[in-house]
Chains A and B, each alone.
Chain A
């Protein structure tokens, strides 16, 4: 059952932008964008948590799913190390004060859909030596962190994006505990941290690091001054820590990944709320250097958001549309490019973890989808890859966050509601492709 008891105290559907209108197709390069709906009260409805009770997410025929590890402390993003060990960033951040009575109510509703477990603020290492899809070794690699999220490994260095800083730790293959203090590569914008997650990816050569920094509000309701250095992707020089904006106007770039073989950075981005159930689609896009993607002044290119004052017609004119819409409010938090070891149906494309909506009547997201690529470009409709995170009664058993492709042929899905990392693999290992077709896996972020 959904949480219908809280909201109706405050509204009747007639007052609200309640999203009762039919869902529209919003995938691809030209998603349908209905007119904004701004009722008196935004719909807030989140799936009530429940337990898996032995059940597991549904995966395509010919694939198996196992809990690689359970009992984690809010797993968000994962990383596969060269020796096959898996790192899990665990934690939760943000320190946004309630500025209005609404913030208190919205915070309560969102909290209902989250785990009661306290964030670990640590990196856990998982090792599945016997290859049965369950980790025998589960140990804390790094602790005492500040809401770690993005992870990257480059040439003996482990990079961790805390909510306030980018850190580097020396790491040797097989190591299970890091005691070195680590070096701060750069401070990251952390004031308020309304969107606190700091996504991370390393360039294929490892010289540049890219950090996704979310906006400090939905749509500037905390004031323009709070948005300094927000809603953008930073490019950071790994050697010096110097940073510069790489692309801007990205409301909440929650996951970054390099497209294999191209050196092209992609991002999953969460778009703005409270323009109705079918606005604005979350998306994945190739991140063009120097480009402006609209936030806050406009969405999906040059559709002006009337809530932003002062408006800026020059910025709107400069805004470009992203590449591929996933649907409104799906909350895309994970992005990983596939490889042939994932099987022929899922060999070329990107997996996207969708945490699930909290502000529309008909739930969106709560699953992992696969976006097929042809000639390096996303195409067609997103294909369900892992579903069943919502049960038949509309309760949430899990909520996907980060997704990572293990080069040996498995998808790892962090589930921050049931505190599990799921491992999805072809039931029969895919025979290795001819050497010519093998691209070396890039560092995953």
Chain B
């Protein structure tokens, strides 16, 4: 997300990964808690790892953009975007550590809550990124 009228497509594609992967991790967590079939917990672990990898790239990109386009319009929105991504990454990381424990303790209620919070933060970041507050107005 720069000051350009259209978002960078590569950035948008990268952002799709943490949104999809973290959301899926919340779903596989629920399935594990319902079935106690360990493979669902394994899925969660890999989904979280993938979300962290791509989420980390997106976060880095967003921070660089924020620094490069300090004076551009939409600064508050871009700052909010970076903050959402950063908190998402931290909660996702703690969640991944928790998922590295064994058997039932790889998820538990704590893990599920963390997965849901992480997914919601990813969705919120996506919303802020894609919602264009300048739609219909003059663009820079």
Query: Taking beta carbons and an 8 Å cutoff, which residues of A are in contact with B?
Result: 10-11, 15, 38, 40-42, 99-102, 217-223, 274, 306-310
Q: Which residues of A contact B45 (CB under 8 A)?
A: 100-102
Kindly identify, within residues 82 to 140 of chain B, every residue whose CB is under 8 Å from any CB belonging to chain A. 94, 96-106
Q: Is the CB of A41 within 8 A of B42?
A: no
B60 interfacial by beta-carbon distance below 8 Å:
no
Q: Is the CB of B98 within 8 A of A40?
A: yes
With beta carbons under 8 angstroms apart, the residue of B37, B39, B97, B98 that contacts A10 is B97
Q: Which residues of B contact A11 (CB under 8 A)?
A: 97
Given A99-B42, A100-B45, A100-B46, does the pair A221, B94 have CB atoms closer than 8 Å?
Answer: no
Contact with A along B10-48 (1 / 0, CB 8 A): 000000000000000000000000001111001001100
With beta carbons under 8 angstroms apart, the residue of B37, B97, B103, B106 that contacts A41 is B97
Given A41-B97, A101-B46, does the pair A221, B102 have CB atoms closer than 8 Å?
Answer: yes
Q: Which of B45, B99, B101 has the most A CB atoms < 10 Å from its CB?
A: B101
Q: Give the interface size class of chain B.
A: 20 to 34
Closest 5 CB pairs of A and B: A102-B100, A307-B103, A221-B102, A309-B36, A40-B97
With beta carbons under 8 angstroms apart, the residue of B46, B96, B98, B106 that contacts A221 is B106
Q: Which residues of B contact A220 (CB under 8 A)?
A: 38, 102-103
Q: Is the CB of A100 within 8 A of B103?
A: no
Q: Which residues of B contact A307 (CB under 8 A)?
A: 101-105
B49 interfacial by beta-carbon distance below 8 Å:
yes
Q: Is the CB of A217 within 8 A of B102?
A: yes
Q: Which residues of A contact B46 (CB under 8 A)?
A: 100-101
Q: Which residues of B contact A306 (CB under 8 A)?
A: 104-105
Majority SS at the chain B contact face: helix
Q: Which residues of A contact B103 (CB under 8 A)?
A: 217, 219-221, 307-309
Q: Is the CB of B36 within 8 A of A218?
A: no
Q: Which of B36, B37, B49, B94 has the most A CB atoms < 10 Å from its CB?
A: B36
Question: Which residue on B lies nearest to A274, using beta carbons?
Answer: B102
CA distance A394 to B94 in the complex (A): 31
CA distance A24 to B101 in the complex (A): 24
CA distance A99 to B102 in the complex (A): 12
CA distance A221 to B45 in the complex (A): 12
CA distance A42 to B100 in the complex (A): 9
CA distance A193 to B79 in the complex (A): 51
Q: Which residues of B contact A217 (CB under 8 A)?
A: 102-103
Pairs across A and B, CB under 8 Å, 17 listed: A38-B101, A41-B97, A42-B101, A102-B45, A217-B102, A220-B38, A221-B106, A223-B37, A274-B101, A274-B102, A306-B105, A307-B102, A308-B103, A309-B36, A309-B103, A309-B104, A310-B36
Question: Which residue on B lies nearest to A217, using beta carbons?
Answer: B102
Q: Which residues of A contact B97 (CB under 8 A)?
A: 10-11, 15, 40-41
Q: Is the CB of B102 within 8 A of A219?
A: yes
Question: Which residue on B lies nearest to A15, using beta carbons?
Answer: B97
Question: Which residue on B lies nearest to A106, using beta carbons?
Answer: B100
Closest chain-A Cβ to B64's Cβ sits at a distance in Å of 23
Q: Which residues of A contact B106 (CB under 8 A)?
A: 221
Question: Which residue on A lies nearest to B105, using beta carbons?
Answer: A307
Q: Which residues of A contact B105 (CB under 8 A)?
A: 38, 274, 306-307
Question: Which residue on A lies nearest to B95, using beta carbons?
Answer: A40
Q: Which residues of A contact B38 (CB under 8 A)?
A: 220-223
CA distance A42 to B101 in the complex (A): 8
Closest chain-A Cβ to B100's Cβ sits at a distance in Å of 4
Question: Which residue on B lies nearest to A307, using beta carbons?
Answer: B103
Q: Is the CB of A101 within 8 A of B100?
A: yes
Question: Which residue on A lies nearest to B38, using beta carbons?
Answer: A223
Closest chain-A Cβ to B76's Cβ sits at a distance in Å of 32
